[in-house]
Amino acid sequence: MGRTKLYLDDDIPSHGKRIWRLFAAKPQALAGLWGVVLLLLLAMFGDYIAPYAAEYQDQAALLMPPSWSNQGDVSHFLGTDDLGRDIFSRLLHGAQYTFGVAFSVVLTALIVGVVIGSISGMMRGLKSSILGHLLDALLSIPSLLMAILVVAVTGPGLENVFWAVGISLTPQFVRSIHQTVHDELQKEYVTAASLDGANALQIFWYVIMPNVWETVIIQTTLAMSAAILDIAALGFLNLGAQAPMPEWGAMVLQGLDNFLTSPWTVTIPGVAILLSVLSVNLVGDGLRSALAPMRN
């Protein structure tokens, strides 16, 4: 027999549960979250579930249309390119180069940005002002243009793209975290904690950082979509992944020669890039909407 509750307890959800409820109330945000989870799984396990190797060439199926076409075949679900390579398999293999590398770049830029932005945000006076103006100058250069400049110096290749996109995205993290930490330092509860005897490290970690994580989360989603577009754009410009790597932007470039006769060689990788960016943006929009009431 269950215990009878004599008193009604109010169910007060935690901060994380409130954010999740507000986030889950948006169907498009949940759809984006499932899309991001799927992309992460493909980036990790795409090589194992692809029906063909990325470089496998079927000479009997050159420029075969997708399977829903009358000339298509289910053995090549999304068709083949001009060398007989299965596009579906190359998309699965390429997830680690486009989405996986973008995730790694953003994670690296996030760690560097949090460290530098936190230290600079705790500074006061002339040093903080100089760093703020320097970051404003760096942010005036679009991330793709800065990545192109770095690749032009270091040379093409996926490894150089990693550093190029990372260098272009790091100032965004540094600036947003620097500004948030600097603004939080002006709040009254920081002054109260200081008067209570808390040192600078305690104020930073226990008082300021809980209010900075929201900015970090939002900035991460923005940087993720920018990283995907930058990596794909550099591949399309032949400055990133080089043939025969199945990076999605490079696949679009490789299909341009046959675009008029075989448009699926361009549109299918392009749709993959579009859906990836859309999924990340839906998650970011859902997080911004969920976190907005928390800040008010």
The answer on pLDDT for 274 being more than 80 is yes
Q: How do residues 90-146 score in pLDDT, each as one tens digit?
A: 999 999 999 999 999 999 999 998 888 888 878 776 666 777 777 777 777 788 888
Q: How do residues 218-243 score in pLDDT, each as one tens digit?
A: 889 889 999 999 999 999 998 888 87
The answer on pLDDT for 4 being more than 80 is no
- Percent of all residues in the chain with a pLDDT value above 70, rounded to a whole number: 93
Highest mean pLDDT range out of 27-31, 57-61, 177-181? 27-31
Q: At residue 286, what is the residue type?
A: G
**What are the backbone dihedrals phi and psi of residue 3, each rounded to the nearest 5 degrees, phi first?**
-80, 140
> Within 13 Å and on the Cβ side, how many CA atoms surround 196?
10
User: What six digits make up the tokens of 260?
Assistant: 């008029």
The answer on pLDDT for 10 being more than 60 is no
Query: Residue 244's pLDDT is what?
Result: 84
> Among 45, 56, 116, 128, which Cα is nearest to 85's?
56
Higher confidence at residue 206 or residue 11? 206
Average pLDDT score over the chain: 86
Query: Residue 222's pLDDT is what?
Result: 87
Residues contacting residue 52 through CB under 8 Å, at least 6 positions apart:
58, 85, 86, 89
The answer on pLDDT for 7 being more than 60 is no
Higher confidence at residue 200 or residue 160? 160
> What topology does CATH give the domain 42-50+72-288?
MetI-like fold (1.10.3720)
125: left (phi over 0), alpha (psi -120 to 50) or beta: left
